[in-house]
């Protein structure tokens, strides 16, 4: 027995709203909500036609790196299962819009300055950002699963009839959701 269009719409809208709400909550709890840019970008879109449906989760591109983490060039301890990895010139360089620029903006906004160990003087924001960028590049970014955990939990609560009728599999849906 197939679900009616209204039941399908209601179930998928509930699913989308729960995933968005819980992802935003997890993002805030993990202190990854500095500018609220990623937080505000998380949303879902649902399209239902006669024989199919399309449920799409949207967020800023860097959300997948925050969710899955990034393995460092020299260490994978922070995100051992992440599909992402820093490598040759993938982020610590000075190219416009790269990791260093983002960290420098953050360091300036938060007014973070390290002290030079030898002289005791404060380093410039640029020097501080360079040290932080280098550490992130070499050690990676920790996995947060701010999206993956709420998605998986909400998927498991979907009506069994919906999952069976549409042959839904959490792994396939999650991979598509994070594209």
Taking only the tens place, the pLDDT of each residue in 130-140 is: 999 999 999 99
Cα–Cα dist 31/41, whole Å: 16
Separation in Å, CA 169 to CA 43, 156, 166, 173 = 21, 10, 9, 6
pLDDT higher at 1 or 115:
115
Q: Across residues 47-61, what is the average pLDDT?
A: 87
Cα–Cα dist 155/102, whole Å: 34
Question: Do residues 78 and 140 make contact, with C-beta atoms less than 8 angstroms apart?
Answer: yes
What b-and-e string marks burial along 23-50, b requiring 16 or more CB atoms within 10 Å of the CB? bbebbeeeebbeeeebbeebebeeeeee
Average pLDDT value for the chain: 86
pLDDT higher at 34 or 132:
132
Cα–Cα dist 159/153, whole Å: 13
Beta bridge partners of 159: none
């Amino acid at each position: 027995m197939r679900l009616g269009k209204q039941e399908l719409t209601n179930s998928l809208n509930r699913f989308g709203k729960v995933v968005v709400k819980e992802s935003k909550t997890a993002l805030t709890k993990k202190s990854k909500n500095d500018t609220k840019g990623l937080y505000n970008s998380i949303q879902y879109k649902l399209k239902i036609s006669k024989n199919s449906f399309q449920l799409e989760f949207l967020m800023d591109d860097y959300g997948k790196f925050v969710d899955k983490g990034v393995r460092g060039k020299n260490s994978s301890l922070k995100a051992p299962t992440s599909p992402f990895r820093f490598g040759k010139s993938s982020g610590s360089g000075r190219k416009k819009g790269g990791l260093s620029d983002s960290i420098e903006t953050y360091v300036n906004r938060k007014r973070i300055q390290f002290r030079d160990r030898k002289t005791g003087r404060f380093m410039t924001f640029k020097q501080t950002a360079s040290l932080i960028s280098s550490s992130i590049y070499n050690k990676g970014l920790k996995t947060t699963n701010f999206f993956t955990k709420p998605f998986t939990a909400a998927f498991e609560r979907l009506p069994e009839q919906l999952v069976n009728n549409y042959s839904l599999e959490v792994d396939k849906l999650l991979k598509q959701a994070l594209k």
